Amino acid sequence: ASANLLETARQQGYLRVAIANEPPYTQVETDGTVTGCEPDILRAVAQRLGIDDIQGIVTPYESMIPGLQANRWDVIAAGLFMKQSRCAEVSYSEPVIVSTESFAVPSGNPGKITTIADVLANPELKVGVIPGGFEEGILNSAAVPAEQQVQVDDGRSGVEALQAGRCDVFLLPTLSLEALIEDGDEFEVTDPIPDAPATGSGAAFRQSDQSFVDAYNTELTAFKATDEFTRIQEQWGFDPAAVEGVTAEQLCQNE
Ligand code: 6CS
């Protein structure tokens, strides 16, 4: 860990951030600019702390916490949803996003899959999931057998797995699926899954950088009260009201 992340980042002019390139949570522009709801909020709060910019590194979800611990980046801002095991390993800021999970299913949803219980009730049904992702944890907590889980690298690979018939449904955040699946496609996105936990995320730092996290939270609280915070949420299709009054402590109870 850096002796003093705030001083180092101010001097070098940026924070190194792990992202996923999964719109609308995270997105890399063709010119390399890192954007999406969480990076845009991270950049704004970092600037309030006197850090000019952020520098993004695209990495799989399962590598984000190991890479943070190995000092390959300073922060994760990827919609890395809070839960007990992750909160034991990193220090999260207060949440900036509260969102939902859905299934991508064949149009018309012939299998009538709308809940995790539906998946559990049909041992033949194969569900696409990203390894190490929050969705894999939802399936494991519900004791969905490993044989029913098909691992896919990222959102795009999940849609390809559906198209190739390697899985029957694909579990991912609602808004990520909506960004991947065009209207009138052969697939559609279900309503938010009622028996999946609330998905909340904020920036994740090394626990040794707790003094940075404290300073970050002070500026984040002030930023949340601005029109700019609302504008960023709405630009990316998130509901700014969903995170109001929700704390990291609450979201860290998720299994
Ligand atoms: O927290 C996670 O692991 C999940 N978050 C997002 C925004 N997409 C997929 C990933 O598995």
Instruction: Return the CATH number at 62.
Output: 3.40.190.10
Q: Are 57 and 109 members of one domain? A: no
The answer on 92 and 108 residing in a single domain is no
Same domain for 107 and 181, yes or no, is: yes
Q: Tell me the CA–centroid distance for residue 80 and ligand 1, in Å.
A: 5
Residue whose CB lies within 8 A of the most ligand 1 atoms, among 80, 85, 103, 152, for a mutation test = 80
* Cα gap 26→78, rounded to integer Å: 6
- Is the distance from the beta carbon of residue 90 to the nearest atom of ligand 1 less than 6 Å? no
- 201-202-206-212 Cα dihedral, nearest 10 degrees: -160
Q: Same structural domain for residues 87 and 212?
A: yes
Is a pLDDT exceeding 80 seen at residue 163?
yes
Do residues 88 and 77 share a domain? yes
Q: Which of 170, 189, 208 is the C-terminal boundary of a domain?
A: 189
Residues near 158 by Cβ (< 8 Å), separated by ≥ 6? Answer: 104, 128, 129, 130, 152, 167, 170, 172, 180
Given a cut of 60, is residue 1 above it in pLDDT?
no
Q: List pLDDT tens digits, range 123-152.
A: 999 999 999 999 999 999 999 999 999 999
pLDDT class for 2, splitting at 50, 70, 90?
low
Residues 67, 149, single domain; the answer is no
Using one digit for the tens of pLDDT, what is the confidence trace for 101-118?
A: 999 999 999 999 999 999
Indicate whether 208 and 90 sit together in one domain.
yes
Note whether 181 and 62 are same-domain residues.
no
Ligand 1 atom closest to the Cα of residue 155 is 9
26 CA: nearest ligand 1 atom? 7
Asked whether residue 79 is assigned to any structural domain, the reply reads yes
Assess if residue 149 is contained within a domain: yes
Residue 82 lies in a domain: yes
Task: Please check whether residue 217 lies inside any domain of the structure.
Answer: yes
What is the domain range of residue 82? 5-98+200-243
Q: What is the mean pLDDT of residues 70-91?
A: 98
Ligand 1 atom nearest residue 136's Cα: 11
* Residue 118 resides in a domain: yes
Please give the average per-residue pLDDT across 45-74, as a whole number: 98
Q: Check whether residue 92 and residue 10 sit in a common domain.
A: yes
Residue 41 CB-half CA count within 13 A: 40
The answer to whether residue 248 is domain-embedded is no
59: nearest Cα among 42, 78, 46, 43: 78
Residue 122 is assigned to a structural domain of this protein = yes
13 and 68 assigned to the same domain: yes
Q: Which pTM does this prediction carry?
A: 0.97
Provide the number of structural domains found in the chain: 2
Would you say residue 251 lies in a domain?
no
- Mean pLDDT, range 231-249, rounded to an integer: 97
Same domain, 9 and 91: yes
* 164 and 180 together in one domain: yes
Are the beta carbons of 248 and 76 closer than 8 angstroms?
Answer: no
Rounded mean pLDDT, 8-25: 97
What is the H or E stretch that residue 115 is in? none
- Which own/partner pairs from 161-168 qualify as long-range (CB within 8 Å, at least 24 positions apart)? 161/128, 162/104, 162/106, 162/128, 162/187, 166/126, 166/128, 167/126, 167/127, 167/128, 168/105, 168/106, 168/111, 168/113, 168/125, 168/126, 168/127
